[in-house]
A and B are shown apart, each in its own frame.
Chain A
Amino acid sequence: DAGITQSPRHKVTETGTPVTLRCHQTENHRYMYWYRQDPGHGLRLIHYSYGVKDTDKGEVSDGYSVSRSKTEDFLLTLESATSSQTSVYFCAISGQTNEQYFGPGTRLTVT
């Protein structure tokens, strides 16, 4: 299994509060991704990174920001959480091929 972890695994927060999710990899892969998964929508890309300090927007980036200061860490921040951001968030990594390896997910509930 690819060395990829996510923290926290579960979080409940209130509307309007900031939230940061962390993805950590030990594979030294260049590419890292954040997805959200909701019933009926499958996996949708939020943001991705193609190197340290190099990031770009995905399909559903509004309300989210990311940072990558080290190869191994990719942070996803919800500046002011809303109920529509209640979801399961997955981080993924990939190397030279387009095959992605996923973390175990973070279940976020915004009340």
Chain B
Amino acid sequence: TQLLEQSPQFLSIQEGENLTVYCNSSSVFSSLQWYRQEPGEGPVLLVTVVTGGEVKKLKRLTFQFGDARKDSSLHITAAQPGDTGLYLCAVMDSSYKLIFGSGTRLLVRP
């Protein structure tokens, strides 16, 4: 059983559409990170959320940490082809190691 469940696993949308992807768990976390990975490259950190209910914005990307700190969402407004990639959420386990979800693969068609 995965500690972090990401959904959907795959999403294909048209340029200009909005979308939301989710990262869920039954455990409580002190913080949660979102990474984006483009084809052929390593993941790049987008944001870290720390406080329950926290909302962070990064241009057209909006990240929210659930009130109970068990889940998070990433909303993209007016998606562009440059948003294409694998979106990964990650949390720190009790041994201070990052645990990753399996990711949501996003394809934005021109």
Q: Is the CB of A42 within 8 A of B100?
A: yes
Contact partner, A100, options B40, B45, B101, B102, Cβ 8 Å: B45
A104: Cβ under 8 A from any B Cβ: yes
One digit per residue, 1 when the CB lies within 8 angstroms of any chain B CB and 0 when it does not, for chain A 67-111 equals: 000000000000000000000001010000111111111000000
Minimum C-beta distance from B55 to chain A (A): 19
One digit per residue, 1 when the CB lies within 8 angstroms of any chain A CB and 0 when it does not, for chain B 69-110 equals: 000000000000000000010001000111011110000000
Interface residues on A, range: 20 to 34
Interface residues on B, range: 10 to 19
Please give me the residue from chain A that is nearest to B103 by CB atom. A42
Using known A-B contacts A99-B48, A102-B43, A105-B41, determine if residue A40 contacts B97 with beta carbons closer than 8 Å. no
Minimum C-beta distance from B91 to chain A (A): 9
Q: Is the CB of A103 within 8 A of B42?
A: yes
One digit per residue, 1 when the CB lies within 8 angstroms of any chain A CB and 0 when it does not, for chain B 28-57 equals: 000101000000111111001000000000
Q: Which residues of A contact B98 (CB under 8 A)?
A: 33, 45, 98, 100
Give bound CA distance, A44 to B103, whole Å: 12
Minimum C-beta distance from B106 to chain A (A): 15
Residues on B lying within 8 angstroms of A by beta carbon are: 31, 33, 40-45, 48, 88, 92, 96-98, 100-103
Q: 19 A-B Cβ contacts within 8 A? A: A40-B102, A41-B102, A42-B88, A43-B43, A43-B88, A44-B100, A92-B42, A97-B48, A98-B31, A98-B92, A98-B96, A98-B98, A99-B48, A100-B98, A101-B45, A102-B43, A104-B40, A105-B40, A105-B42
